[in-house]
Amino acid sequence: MSVATASHILEKLEFTRDLPTVPVVLMRLLRYMEKPLDQVDVAQIVNLISQDKSLAGHCLQVANSPLFGSSHEDEVVSIQASVMAVGVTRIQQIAVSCSLLRLMPTISFGLNPAVFWAHSLGCALVSREFATRIGYPDPAKAYVAGLLHDIGIVALLWVAPHDFRRCFEEASRHRIPLHEAEQRVLGITHCESGKIIAQNWHLSQELTDVIVGHHSPAIAPSSSVLTSIISVSDLLCRIGGLGYGYSEDKQTDFTEEPAFAILAAKYRALRPFDLARFTFETEGLLEEVRAVVSQVYGAH
């Protein structure tokens, strides 16, 4: 495609009113999650989520799943009870995840909304687990970054749905990564469209860096560690069958990935790191994600 197409899409992203406004609940939750846990007012979190009946219902579905490590035997039936069961950090993560549901167009333009949410949620969970394993100090931040890393896809679906469909068909037909098909067809990728959304929503610089650089973490030197965690987790999800609904013909040696090299230089836990074992252990997690997404979307 010509550069004009890319500039036209970027212009629409900058000035269009077609983009979904960020849910108020999502922005307030993201702000809460930037605070130290001892400064978080649990009652405010509970009230914020409970006031939105649809969001609260989705949160309870996810909170009652095995995904968030709840040890309760009986089903939790209120947000207050879910905080007691899984903790305030987990319920914030669940609520941010469920808020993402509302941003997708209801019509599929190649990419099934449920598949997109499954990939985003899977990447968030794998990122959190991976961050914990290597000793990254803020696994909760890794979760949010993993959840929002592909927000640029949502932007493209809103402002250029038919162009995005062509990208998706190109990626599916040639079994290539989606961002490569976007570059080939549009001349831009969801990383660039995501940057505009991140700036419009006033997301933190670190989150913006992840959104822009998760396919090339070296371009975000100040946030390269977090960006690399998301990059590795994104790849793990895609090769684990929790990608965008098609198989990529991609042979991946993680030890040769730039993201892995960035992390290995900083974290001794990666020298060596039993990636095969970690990949095997995440298979069950990804299967649980599929089950939860099926349950939540089936309830729409």
The DSSP secondary-structure symbol of 34 reads T
Domain containing 187 equals: 3-19+103-298
* Number of domains the chain contains: 1
Is the C-alpha dihedral spanning 241, 242, 248, 253 positive or negative?
negative
Give the model's pLDDT for residue 1.
45
Residue 289 lies in a domain: yes
259-297 as b/e: b if 16+ CB within 10 A: bbebbbeebeebeebebeebeeebeebbebbbebbeebb
Residue 75 lies in a domain: no
Omega prior to 113 cis, within 30 of 0? no
Residue 283 lies in a domain: yes
| 111 strand-pairing partners | 109
Give the model's pLDDT for residue 262.
93
Residue 89 lies in a domain: no
> Are the C-beta atoms of residues 58 and 27 closer than 8 Å to each other?
no
Q: Is 245 helix (H, G, I), strand (E, B) or coil?
A: coil
Give pLDDT < 70 ranges for the chain: 1-4, 16-22, 69-74, 298-300
> Are the C-beta atoms of residues 233 and 119 closer than 8 Å to each other?
no
Residue 245 lies in a domain: yes
- Tokens 């405010």 appear where? 44
pLDDT digits (tens, 9 = 90+) for 241-263: 999 999 998 777 777 889 999 99
Residue 82 lies in a domain: no
User: Which residues, in sequence order, are CB contacts of 33 under 8 Å at separation 6+?
Assistant: 92, 93, 96, 140, 141, 144
CATH label of the domain that carries residue 224 = 1.10.3210.10
Q: Which pTM does this prediction carry?
A: 0.90
Give the model's pLDDT for residue 300.
42
Distances in Å between the Cα of 226 and the Cα atoms of 126, 208, 263 are 13, 11, 9
Residue 197 lies in a domain: yes
Listed residue (146, 77, 116, 156) closest to 246, CA to CA? 116
Give the model's pLDDT for residue 130.
94
Give the model's pLDDT for residue 115.
92
Angstrom distance (rounded) from CA 101 to CA 112: 12
Angstrom distance (rounded) from CA 149 to CA 145: 6
The amino acid that residue 155 corresponds to is A
Residue 131 lies in a domain: yes
